[in-house]
Amino acid sequence: MKKRLFSGIQPSGDVHIGNYLGAIKNWVRLIDQYDCLFCIVDYHAITIEYDPKEMQRRIFNAAAVNIAAGLDPEKCTIFVQSHVPEHTELAWIFNTITPIGHLERMTQFKDKSKQHRENINAGLFTYPVLQTADILLYKGEVVPVGEDQVQHIELSREIARKFNMRYGEIFPEPQEILSEAPRIMGLDGKTKMSKSLGNYISLVESPESIWKKLSTAVTDENRKRRTDPGNPDICNLFTLHKYFSKKEQIERINVVCRTAEIGCIECKKILSENMVEHLTPICLKYERLIKNTDSLVNILQTGAKRCRRMAEETMIEVKKKMGLV
C-alpha cells in the first residue's frame, strides 16, 4: 500500500509560477510514489471577499491548470473540497480541541487580517483547522506545500496528537514536503509572489505578457546604470533563471552580470524566452482542457466520489472514538 499524500490549492485567482515551483512541480514529481489526493479548497477561498459569479470559473480554472501542469487524473484523485461535506464536519470537531492561542500565532492569519481589515471573520481565524481536517480526513501522511504553509502543517500535527491522546489513536502526524523553491518572491522583489498582490506571472500567461511583466520586474536595485556591475545573489530574477534557464546560461549570467558584460534587459530577454518555452506546453494543454467543461466535471465528480467513501469511513471511526454514536 502506498502512503497517502494530500495537498490543496485555493481557487482564488490565477495559478502562478510561485505555486508551480513551490508546490505543483513537487506534486507531479511524487505522483507515482504516493496515493495522491489534490483538493481545490473552495471553502478556504471564501474566507476572503469574492464574487460568487466568478467562483465556478475559478474552480474549473484551478482544475485545468493543475492537470495541464502534470496532475494526470488517471494517476491521482482531484476533487473539490465542498463536494465532500465531511471536511467541515471534522473541522468542527477539531475546533473543539484547538486552543485559540495556537490560532492567534498563525502568521497567515495575522497577514490576512491586515490585508482584509474590513472582513476579519471567524472562518479566516479557524482556516488552519479546516486545513487539518482536509488532510486528516484521509489520514494524509505527506503534504507538499510552499514555505508559507509549514506553520499550518505543524499545527495539524499538534491537532492529530491531541486527538489521538484524548480519544484514541486514529490519525497520523502529517509531514510537509518542501520543494527546492519553497518561497518565490513577486516581481517587485520585495513580497512573496501571491495571487492577491498581483505581483505574479501566471502559469498560462501569454508570451507578450510574460515579457511585459519581466521587463518592469525589479532586479538588483544597486545596479542603477548599464555599466554598473550587478549582483546575482540579490537579484530576484536570477533566482527565476535557476528554475527556467539552461545550466550554461545560468553559469554565464552568474559571471557576466558581475562584470557588467550583460545588462538587465538582455538578461530578462533570456529568462523570458526560457519561461515561454517552459510554459507553452502547459498553456496549450490548458486551452484544450478549459474548453471541455464536461470532461472537467467528470474528473471532479469521480474524485469526489472516491473521497466521500474514504471520508465516511473516517467519520464513523472518529465518532465511535468520541462516543458520538
Residue pair 77/38 in contact by the 8 Å Cβ criterion: yes
**Of 97-105, 125-133, 180-188, 253-261, which part binds ligand AMP (CB under 6 A)?**
180-188
Which phi and psi angles does 38 have, rounded to 5°? -120, 125
Give 308: exposed, middle or buried? Use CB within 10 Å, 0-12, 13-18, 19+: middle
Alpha helices in the chain (DSSP H): 17-19, 25-30, 42-45, 52-68, 86-95, 100-104, 107-115, 122-125, 127-136, 150-167, 207-215, 236-244, 247-256, 264-291, 293-321
The yes or no reply on residue 77 touching ligand TRP (CB under 6 A) is no
Return the active site residues. Answer: 112, 192, 195
Q: Report CA Rg, the chain.
A: 21
The yes or no reply on residue 131 touching ligand TRP (CB under 6 A) is yes
**Nearer to ligand TRP by C-beta: 147 or 273?**
147
Report the residue from 5, 15, 145, 217 that binds ligand TRP according to the rule CB under 6 A. 145
Q: How far is the CB of 59 from ligand TRP (least distance, A)?
A: 14
Max distance between CA atoms of the chain, in angstroms, equals 75
Q: How far is the CB of 320 from ligand AMP (least distance, A)?
A: 33
Site string for ligand AMP, 142-171 (x = CB under 6 A): ---xx-xx----------------------
The yes or no reply on residue 41 touching ligand TRP (CB under 6 A) is yes
Alpha helices in 174-292 (DSSP H): 207-215, 236-244, 247-256, 264-291
The yes or no reply on residue 19 touching ligand AMP (CB under 6 A) is yes
Please count the residues of this chain forming the interface with ligand TRP, following the rule CB under 6 A. 12
The yes or no reply on residue 140 touching ligand AMP (CB under 6 A) is no
The yes or no reply on residue 22 touching ligand AMP (CB under 6 A) is yes
Q: Is 224 helix (H, G, I), strand (E, B) or coil?
A: coil
Report the residue from 193, 210, 237, 270 that binds ligand AMP according to the rule CB under 6 A. 193
Report the residue from 10, 66, 77, 202 that binds ligand TRP according to the rule CB under 6 A. 10
The yes or no reply on residue 258 touching ligand AMP (CB under 6 A) is no
Report the residue from 143, 159, 240, 275 that binds ligand TRP according to the rule CB under 6 A. 143
Residue 142's DSSP bridge partners are 5, 175
Identify the residue whose cell numbers are 486528516: 136
Buried b (16+ CB within 10 A) or exposed e, 39-73: bbbbbbbbbbeeeeeebeebbbbbbbbbbbbbbeb
Which phi and psi angles does 174 have, rounded to 5°? -65, 145
Contact residues toward ligand AMP (CB under 6 A) are 9-10, 18-19, 22-23, 145-146, 148-149, 182-184, 192-195
Contact residues toward ligand TRP (CB under 6 A) are 6-8, 10, 41, 44, 131, 134-135, 143, 145, 149
